[in-house]
Amino acid sequence: MRSLLLTILLFPLAASAADRARDLGIPFDGTPGRLNAITDVPGVTVGHSTIIADYPNGSAARSGVTAILPRGEDSLFLPVFGGSAVLNGAGEMTGTIWLEASGFLEGPVMITTTQSVGMVFEETIKWRVNKAERDVTGYAWSDPVVAETWGGRLNDENGFYVHGEHVAEALESAKGGPVEEGNVGGGTGMVCYQFKCGIGTASRVIETADGEFTVGALVQANYGWRDILRIGGAPVGQEMPVQQAADVRTPMDDEMGSIIVVIATDAPLLPHQLKRVATRAGLGIARVGGMASNGSGDIFVAFSTANARELRAGTNLTAGFLGNENISPVFTGAVLATEEAIVNALIAAKTMTGFNGNTVEAIDHEQLQNVLRKYNRLDEE
């Protein structure tokens, strides 16, 4: 099928700086970091590889890979403490069995489309092997964290269009600074609340008894049906009903949805504390109306970039950590950053036509503002 390739468009349809929820006057609680992105947590880098192509046989790729590196280039050699959580388990995040046992997240978090988990798993290992000086004993053991959401409305999932070059591109292009949102990377073909969706990010600066820290979230959002959507507490989904139900929603749509949430913080936390942080992503989803329906893979991972020196293998290790009584601001930050990241994904995404000629409309910003205004929930200066 690949030999029949007619056109390949390999560029990001990234959101412009203006396309963020806050810029539209959508209200959120808490104080965002400078970029309002997961990269506000120092050291975290994000890269995307976006695959958009149409084939003469009718197949279409609207897919990609997103890579989050907890310590940027050092991630391969210096782990972070991490934890994971599942709200609804209709999905895959590899590597979590070892993450839970060890407490360590070793390497990047990769997010892609459902049928490409295997390829991304394989190619992430190969990328890692190539990065390392070849070990003379032939030793290597790798169990990368690879997660997915199902893009089959716009992407031909059985085209298996993600390859090693895309994995490498996502990993090699990872950087700090502003993060592209919407139709990029693993989020390219994603849909939430029956609007076009994809990648979103946000952050919160929190105050604790141990000082100020940052909590960032990045989501690949692909879940939910229209009616349940809430933004800023307003019943946006009910006010912006689906116009052409038959065209935009199939019976399987809400069942195939999923959301992957990655939470990063520089607050020093132990693995069992990070598991608690990961769990909070579900509360952020609920604030946007999410119901974690049967077919949704709502799977979360959280990590802390603190303790960089302390986590090198060796003896007499020590780790700093927040006392439990000081941890609640991290939880609140994770909830609020997840909520805003989802809305950012919705706002940044652009209308897309893909597989089988299916079109999924982006949410109309002006119409959304009107709804929020109706409910006195639009921040207008």
Q: Determine contact, residues 217/341, Cβ cutoff 8 Å.
A: yes
Q: If binding is defined by CB under 8 A, does position 351 make contact with a copy of itself?
A: no
From the CB of 143, what's the least distance to a copy of itself, in Å? 5
Q: If binding is defined by CB under 8 A, does position 356 make contact with a copy of itself?
A: yes
Which among 131-139, 178-186, 188-196, 198-206 is the span making contact with a copy of itself, rule CB under 8 A? 131-139
Q: If binding is defined by CB under 8 A, does position 326 make contact with a copy of itself?
A: yes
Which among 1-9, 175-183, 280-288, 340-348 is the span making contact with a copy of itself, rule CB under 8 A? 280-288
Q: If binding is defined by CB under 8 A, does position 5 make contact with a copy of itself?
A: no
Binding residues for a copy of itself restricted to 180-239, rule: CB under 8 A: 209-210, 228, 230, 232-235
Q: If binding is defined by CB under 8 A, does position 340 make contact with a copy of itself?
A: no
Helix (H) or strand (E) holding 208: strand 199-208
Please list the alpha-helical segments (H only) found in 103-218: 117-131, 164-172
Q: Candidates 43, 64, 72, 103: give the one binding a copy of itself (CB under 8 A).
A: 103
Which among 67-75, 192-200, 319-327, 344-352 is the span making contact with a copy of itself, rule CB under 8 A? 319-327
Q: Determine contact, residues 53/7, Cβ cutoff 8 Å.
A: yes
Q: Determine contact, residues 322/210, Cβ cutoff 8 Å.
A: yes
Q: Candidates 16, 328, 367, 370: give the one binding a copy of itself (CB under 8 A).
A: 328
Q: Determine contact, residues 188/63, Cβ cutoff 8 Å.
A: yes
Binding residues for a copy of itself restricted to 63-92, rule: CB under 8 A: 86-92
Q: Candidates 283, 350, 359, 369: give the one binding a copy of itself (CB under 8 A).
A: 283
Half-sphere exposure of 40 (CA within 13 A, CB side): 26
Integer Cα distance of 186 and 67 in angstroms = 9
Q: Candidates 55, 121, 195, 303: give the one binding a copy of itself (CB under 8 A).
A: 121
Helix (H) or strand (E) holding 260: strand 258-265
Q: Tell me whether residue 235 is exposed, middle or buried, using C-beta atoms within 10 angstroms of its C-beta: 0 to 12, 13 to 18, 19 or more.
A: middle
The helix/strand/coil state of 278 is helix
From the CB of 92, what's the least distance to a copy of itself, in Å? 5
From the CB of 344, what's the least distance to a copy of itself, in Å? 19
From the CB of 350, what's the least distance to a copy of itself, in Å? 21
Bridge partners, residue 50, by sequence: 64
Contacts of 272 (CB under 8 A, 6+ apart): 83, 103
Nearer to a copy of itself, 42 or 58 (CB): 58
Catalytic residue ranges: 258, 296, 298
Q: Is the dihedral of CA 338, 344, 346, 349 positive or negative?
A: negative
Q: Candidates 109, 168, 282, 304: give the one binding a copy of itself (CB under 8 A).
A: 282
Q: If binding is defined by CB under 8 A, does position 299 make contact with a copy of itself?
A: yes
Q: Candidates 137, 243, 246, 380: give the one binding a copy of itself (CB under 8 A).
A: 137
From the CB of 365, what's the least distance to a copy of itself, in Å? 20
Binding residues for a copy of itself restricted to 145-174, rule: CB under 8 A: 146, 150, 152, 156-158, 160
Site for a copy of itself (CB under 8 A): how many residues?
A: 108
Which among 18-26, 44-52, 124-132, 179-187 is the span making contact with a copy of itself, rule CB under 8 A? 124-132
Cα–Cα nearest to 158, from 113, 120, 199:
113
Residue 124 structure tokens:
């992430």
Integer Cα distance of 87 and 256 in angstroms = 15
Q: If binding is defined by CB under 8 A, does position 297 make contact with a copy of itself?
A: yes
Contacts of 65 (CB under 8 A, 6+ apart): 48, 49, 110, 111, 112, 116, 120, 162, 166, 167, 169, 170, 185, 186
